[in-house]
Structure 1
Amino acid sequence: MATSSPETISQSPSLKRRWFPTIPIMDRYISQELALPFLFGVGAFSSIGVSVGALFDLIRKVTEAGLSIYLALEILLLKLPEFIVLSFPMATLLATMMTYSRLSSDSELVALRACGVSVRRLVAPAIVLSLMITGLTFAFNELITPAANYRAAITLEQALNAERPPFQESDILYQEFQAGGSRHLNRLFYARQFDGERMQGLTILDFSQDGLDQIVSAESASWNVGNNTWDFFNGTIYAVSPDGSFSHIVKFDHQELQLPRTPLDLASRTKADDEMNIAEARRQLEMIRQSGDAREIRVWQVRIQQKYALPFVCLVFGLVGASIGVLPQRTSRATSFGISVVIIFGYYLFAFIANAMGEVGVLSPWMSAWLPVLLGIAVGSLLLARASR
């Protein structure tokens, strides 16, 4: 009788240490069933978004503005990540609904439940998939989509001979409000032109001192980095008394004034909201805070919270779709697609209303962005609990 040596036993495949956990057969099967509808949803919803949001406009620019087809295709490819990432939550909903509805209609869920598998265990692969897509969505929104949108905008402007300058060239307007969120104007800063270093044709209305308003008019001004002040050249300072008369007028060739640097920063900003990641949006918010404009501050606070909350819509739709799909029913793929469209429309309508309420101050910025997500998770959890009975 042959015996095995210790070395042979230690190298036996059945006794080797498993460094990676094996995925149960049921999870692999459900995951494979989820993959194809998800990819179909990404393709379908991305195609619709690209057609409505970019393709028609590019065709118009090709025919009316002379944009070359090659550049139009390049811009279309650069805009594609934005619509792909928007399709992820919708594709997750479609995939979970179609997959679990198909398993339910074919009585496969009944067989699995008869074997002792709970409904919560059945939807676990959908939840894991939703969490993975949530992380993928966040990565797209931070690393790919803002840079691609910015490059698309620059490419289009260069092609149409309207290249975006690295700074705002004219009509620099900055309003500074009193601290504490008040809508009372503290200063109004206006410059007619800006060449990147020096502003021309300036007018500053200063209401910061009680009982005395000032008007500063200057030919030009530049930021003094060493002193953190503005150097104004060839101008006049008018001091206005409460009765509207000029208490004194001072002409100057050069005058240093303690005004915020914010107008210079505003003139140098070139990116739109969808061209910024979270870090860039936070820098923009900090700059706007210096103005004291409560409405604009709230808008940017809502935008930043939206960047955090948007990826978790995938989790909401995955939970809701799986919870509806496991209900005993016989639903066709066309019906699942139609129900998905209704849920998507209802969710984004509610999200739009909540975001608008956040911008006007009815809801806090955090609540306006996260309320639809939290409510969606609550609804999905209730549907799952109902299906588990």
Structure 2
Amino acid sequence: MSSSFPTANKPPFNPFGWLIAGIPVMDRYIIGELIPPFIFGVGAFSSIGVAIGVLFDLVRKITEAGLPLTLALEVFFLKLPYFISLAFPMSMLLACLIVYSRLSSDSELIALRSCGVSIYRLVLPAVLLGLIMTGITFVFNEAVVPAANRRATITLNRALKGNEPSFREKNILYQEFRKETTPSGERENVLSRIFYAREFNGKEMKGLNILDFSQNGLNQIVVAETATWNPIDKTWDFFNGTTYTIAPDGSFQGILRYKKQQLQLPRAPLDIATTTTDPIEMNIAQIRQYLATTGEGGNVKETRKLRLRIDQKISFPFVCLVFALVGSTLGVQPQRGGRRATSFGVSLVIIVFYYLFTSICEAFYQFGILSSLLAGWLPTLTILVAGVFILMRINR
């Protein structure tokens, strides 16, 4: 005789059931309420951004420059990830304001508070969701946005100019430094060579001038019509040029004209010429690699801008977490009536303040008042401190 158990009411197999079962019912409820307005916010804010930042310009290029519609659509969708990434923090703020304001106006938060749930525990689901979105935003900004923006630029330039200018075309300058020990025993950077090319067409450098200071003073000047990088020998091939040897007293010691000459110079000038310097087309690793390549010889203004962008790229994803804290904190305050109509307006005020303060910090950094680290993190930290202060005040 065999026994069997009824299986009609057995729940379907769920491989993530252990994870869901570990989340308290209140957290699941609040997070479930946050997701729909968050998705709505991403769609709304990214649509506004892409319409203002891309759509109008593409329409003008279609009508005035003859940009094909298919390529315009391709550029439009390639630009979309950038505005989606900008919408993540704003949508987090909007969702928290809407949901927590509704819970407060419907007295659901009062019921939870009467059961002994603290304010800190009420905002925890929003903070956790904000933390998750922080990680997603960081990965999205590093893996998707720069590549999509770069591809959009190349596609647009190829369509309008008939080429693919993935390189710097004019005035390539590279300064090579070496380490030397001073009489006091300290190590310092000393200029070794200056590499200058008037033009780069994607294959060869044109109008080259090399100043060699490797022997403690200007000792050689190399001038050439063109030069190309030789990947096999890992040298530069210079064509149709002249080498001037300089004596210690500054006079010409010798002049050598050549058709072709190989020089043992670093590949760095080619890396500088072929690397984009637009921060929205570079991730953090690419910016750091570019700064390491240019070293102390890079354009000072450009170098400072890129150093600031590194800190901003690191701090920006954490705005999702900060906005989640601020939005939920403002929303849990007791409400007599619904604030759904004003949530969007409050979000815009906070967002405008954040970006305005970001611009002010950038200006202070350019004037040397703030460091790149402080200028990149101060807007986020300011709103974080304000959110924590409001939260502690409400909890009293």
**Bin for the TM-score computed over the shorter chain:** 0.7 to 0.9
1:381 alignment partner AA: V
Does the CA-based 8 Å contact 2:272-2:290 persist in structure 1? no
Equivalent position of 1:26 in the other structure: 26
Q: Please state whether the residue corresponding to 1:160 is helix, strand or coil.
A: helix
Counterparts in 2 of 1:361 and 1:257: CA distance versus 1, 3 Å? farther
Equivalent position of 1:350 in the other structure: 357
1:334 aligns with 2:341: yes
Q: CA deviation at 1:226?
A: 6.0
1:298 aligns with 2:339: no
Does the CA-based 8 Å contact 2:174-2:268 persist in structure 1? no
Does the CA-based 8 Å contact 1:198-1:221 persist in structure 2? yes
Counterparts in 2 of 1:361 and 1:288: CA distance versus 1, 3 Å? farther
Q: CA deviation at 1:87?
A: 0.4
Q: Which deviations, in whole Å up to 9, do the C-alpha atoms of 1:283-330 show, x marking residues without a partner?
A: 222212263555544332222222222111100111111111112234
1:191 aligns with 2:158: no
Equivalent position of 1:371 in the other structure: 378
Distance of 1:87 and 1:247 partners within structure 2: 62
1:335 alignment partner AA: T
Q: 1:285 aligns with which of 280, 288, 291?
A: 291
Structure 2 unmatched ranges of 5 or more:
12-16, 180-187
Distance of 1:106 and 1:163 partners within structure 2: 60
TM value normalised by structure 1: 0.84
Q: CA deviation at 1:39?
A: 1.9
Does the CA-based 8 Å contact 2:146-2:282 persist in structure 1? yes
1:325 aligns with 2:324: no
Equivalent position of 2:65 in the other structure: 65
Q: Please state whether the residue corresponding to 2:317 is helix, strand or coil.
A: helix
Equivalent position of 1:97 in the other structure: 97
Distance of 2:222 and 2:295 partners within structure 1: 24
Q: CA deviation at 1:204?
A: 3.0
1:273 aligns with 2:294: no
Q: CA deviation at 1:369?
A: 1.8
Q: CA deviation at 1:72?
A: 1.8
Structure 1 unmatched ranges of 5 or more:
none
Q: CA deviation at 1:333?
A: 2.2
Per mean C-alpha deviation after superposition, the further-off stretch among 287-296 and 316-325 is 287-296
Does the CA-based 8 Å contact 2:41-2:90 persist in structure 1? yes
Per mean C-alpha deviation after superposition, the further-off stretch among 361-370 and 182-191 is 182-191
Does the CA-based 8 Å contact 1:183-1:294 persist in structure 2? no
2:31 alignment partner AA: S
1:132 aligns with 2:132: yes
Q: Please state whether the residue corresponding to 1:218 is helix, strand or coil.
A: strand
Does the CA-based 8 Å contact 1:177-1:183 persist in structure 2? no
Distance of 2:190 and 2:361 partners within structure 1: 27
Q: CA deviation at 1:213?
A: 6.7
Per mean C-alpha deviation after superposition, the further-off stretch among 215-224 and 301-310 is 215-224
Distance of 2:261 and 2:112 partners within structure 1: 82
1:261 aligns with 2:244: no
Does the CA-based 8 Å contact 1:302-1:359 persist in structure 2? no
1:220 aligns with 2:226: yes
Equivalent position of 1:114 in the other structure: 114
Does the CA-based 8 Å contact 2:279-2:287 persist in structure 1? yes
Does the CA-based 8 Å contact 1:173-1:188 persist in structure 2? no
Equivalent position of 1:152 in the other structure: 152
Counterparts in 2 of 1:222 and 1:150: CA distance versus 1, 3 Å? closer
Q: Which deviations, in whole Å up to 9, do the C-alpha atoms of 1:104-132 show, x marking residues without a partner?
A: 22322222211211101111111111112
RMSD between aligned residues: 3.5
Distance of 1:292 and 1:77 partners within structure 2: 34
Per mean C-alpha deviation after superposition, the further-off stretch among 257-266 and 192-201 is 192-201
Equivalent position of 1:251 in the other structure: 256
Q: Which deviations, in whole Å up to 9, do the C-alpha atoms of 1:126-183 show, x marking residues without a partner?
A: 1111112112212211222222222222222232243324544x43421427679x99
Distance of 1:177 and 1:158 partners within structure 2: 34
Per mean C-alpha deviation after superposition, the further-off stretch among 106-115 and 54-63 is 106-115
Does the CA-based 8 Å contact 2:165-2:202 persist in structure 1? no
2:314 alignment partner AA: Y
Does the CA-based 8 Å contact 1:39-1:91 persist in structure 2? yes
Does the CA-based 8 Å contact 2:319-2:380 persist in structure 1? yes
Counterparts in 2 of 1:76 and 1:370: CA distance versus 1, 3 Å? same
Count, aligned residues = 382
Distance of 2:167 and 2:342 partners within structure 1: 51
Equivalent position of 2:40 in the other structure: 40
Distance of 1:51 and 1:184 partners within structure 2: 50
Counterparts in 2 of 1:141 and 1:41: CA distance versus 1, 3 Å? same
For 1:156-171, list aligned pairs within 5 A.
Answer: 156-168=156-168, 170-171=169-170
Per mean C-alpha deviation after superposition, the further-off stretch among 73-82 and 221-230 is 221-230
Q: Which deviations, in whole Å up to 9, do the C-alpha atoms of 1:196-218 show, x marking residues without a partner?
A: 45433322345666654754322
Q: Which deviations, in whole Å up to 9, do the C-alpha atoms of 1:59-87 show, x marking residues without a partner?
A: 10111111222322222122111111100
Counterparts in 2 of 1:179 and 1:344: CA distance versus 1, 3 Å? farther
Per mean C-alpha deviation after superposition, the further-off stretch among 251-260 and 347-356 is 251-260
Counterparts in 2 of 1:334 and 1:362: CA distance versus 1, 3 Å? same
Q: CA deviation at 1:383?
A: 1.2
Distance of 1:90 and 1:368 partners within structure 2: 20
Equivalent position of 2:14 in the other structure: none
2:311 alignment partner AA: Q
Equivalent position of 1:385 in the other structure: 392
Distance of 1:289 and 1:151 partners within structure 2: 27
Q: 2:315 aligns with which of 291, 309, 313?
A: 309
Does the CA-based 8 Å contact 1:90-1:317 persist in structure 2? yes
